[in-house]
Amino acid sequence: MVPQPFSFADKVYHFFGYMLYGSTLILAMRTMPITDPRRFWWAVVIGLVFAATDELHQAFVPGRSADVLDWCADALGIGLAVTIAAVRKPYANS
């Protein structure tokens, strides 16, 4: 196990990693009209399902464990990335 600088460092790593992942999901869905809210919902759904399966598969890896709080940190990261994209886009062309 890698030493952590503080007790919840792994949650911070999850948050920022999945925030980046959420941003790439939004970029991957550029073909949908910018005003179409389904673009943002699909990014959230795909991100949350991927995060859940990522946590689930860790339960089967020796030395790793699935953690609901990790998934919550993942969800917050994805949610923030999608929220920033949704709020920012209406003003991007002005």
pTM of the predicted protein model: 0.84
What are the Cα distances from residue 58, in Å, to 54, 61, 63, 77?
Answer: 7, 5, 9, 19
pLDDT one-digit tens code per residue, 24-62: 999 888 777 666 778 889 999 999 999 999 999 999 999
Question: pLDDT digit string (tens) for 64-77?
Answer: 889 999 999 999 99
Q: Give the torsion sign (CA, 30, 36, 42, 43).
A: positive
